[in-house]
Amino acid sequence: MEKMYAYEPSAPSLTEVFSKYFKVGAAINSWNLEKDSREYAVLTKQFDVFTLENESKPEPTHPEPDRWVFDRVDRFAAFGEETGKTLRGHTLVWHGQCPMWFFFDENKQLVTEEVLISRMKDHIRTVVGRYKGKIAVWDVVNEVIRDEGGMRESLWYKIAGTNYIKEAFRTAREADPSARLIINDYNLESSDAKADTMAAFVREMIEDGVPVDGIGLQMHLNLFDTDMDKLRRNVRKFTALREIKPDLMLEVTELDMSCYLWADESTDVEWTDELHEQFSAKYTELFRFYVELAEEGVLDSVVFWGLDDGHSWLNGFPRRHKNYPLLIGRDFELKKAFFNVTGIVK
Ligand code: XIL
């Protein structure tokens, strides 16, 4: 079969194919927004929701207490206004890519809960306020739960228990009452204990009147050890929360599917037809489940973590090896899996 490329006007578009079910998106970088580039053609054709892969995190935007760097996020916001695409803000509070000044005073001692929360509120008010009406969704907190269940013992948690999370949501709501506020995490489909903690914690927030609108499932999946029954079972723990909050939404926020197990030391795997078949079958099953969730009105969007295989972080993390985790290949060619996945919509 002749190759088809994601930027070609005649190629199928993920966003169009799934439009009656959910939005489809991708993580991008501000330098992908050059108008006459292939990247720009791909992203505008294929997707209708976008996340900045790194540039809106606290480390780049707020490197020092009195220094803010917004030029790249501004560019992203301008792109959203120009094109009418939906923008996601990622992320306000996280243990990763957060500058250390948040946690320490001038004597290098940990700050009190009061000081930490006031710094956090200042950060959230400034960032969410600046993009009010432009960034529609915020990953308010990211990865606050441990893989084994229980809350992650980050510096945030050590200083402020779970109060920082609740205050973060309240502050974001005040700063932009129309933004959708998400709690985002990984392995929610693969760790039963983590899913249980997430469901229990979101329940607690809802019961406390904390303004949480949805749960973000990162879904950094693996071709070999993703158990679909388990995935469905764990996701159902979250849809069950609609009994107490009927409008709670789910978003798939960072989808990809690595062809290396976590501990795999091998350099480049050979991307055989057989591997591609397995990959395609797993993605297809996954998207059938997404459609099922969308038909229940609970799934808002599915965002891939990267535009194409070549731009994926998985080529460098946790090790450097060539990876093939997305539906669009490194030449922007549509992979066989792309056609199988889009083929489920009749
Ligand atoms: C990753 C980026 O893709 C990398 O470029 C960066 O070096 C580290 O962060 N979960 C998240 C994302 O919430 O912010 C991470 O992004 C991937 C895992």
User: Would you give the DSSP letter of residue 168?
Assistant: H
Token representation of residue 160: 């402020």
Q: Is the CB of 289 under 6 A from ligand 1?
A: no
Q: 48-94, pLDDT tens digit by residue? A: 999 999 999 999 999 999 999 999 999 999 999 999 999 999 999 99
Classify strands 249-258 and 137-142 as parallel, antiparallel or unpaired.
Answer: unpaired
pLDDT digits (tens, 9 = 90+) for 97-145: 999 999 999 999 999 999 999 999 999 999 999 999 999 999 999 999 9
Distance 54 CA to ligand 1 centre (A): 7
By most ligand atoms within 8 Å of CB, the mutation choice from 50, 88, 254, 312 for ligand 1 is: 254
Q: 185 CB less than 6 Å from ligand 1?
A: no
User: What's the whole-number mean pLDDT along residues 163-176?
Assistant: 98
Contact 101, 91 (CB under 8 A): no
pTM of the full structure: 0.98
Q: Which ligand 1 atom is nearest residue 220's CA?
A: 18
254 in contact with ligand 1, CB cutoff 6 A: yes
**Average pLDDT across the chain, whole number:** 97
Active site residue 254: yes
**Inter-residue contact 175 to 220 (CB < 8 Å):** no
Can you give the pLDDT at residue 265? 85
DSSP β-bridge partners for residue 106:
none
Which of the residues 39, 53, 143, 251 is marked catalytic? 143
Beta strands in 34-117, from DSSP E residues, in sequence order? 49-52, 86-93
Atom of ligand 1 nearest to the CA of 90: 14
239-252: per-residue pLDDT in tens?
A: 999 999 999 999 99
Expressed in angstroms and rounded, the spacing between residue 253 Cα and the centre of ligand 1 is: 12
- Catalytic (active site) residue 34: no
Residue 263: predicted pLDDT: 84
185 in Cβ contact with 198 (< 8 Å): yes
Ligand 1 in contact with 54 (CB < 6 A)?
yes
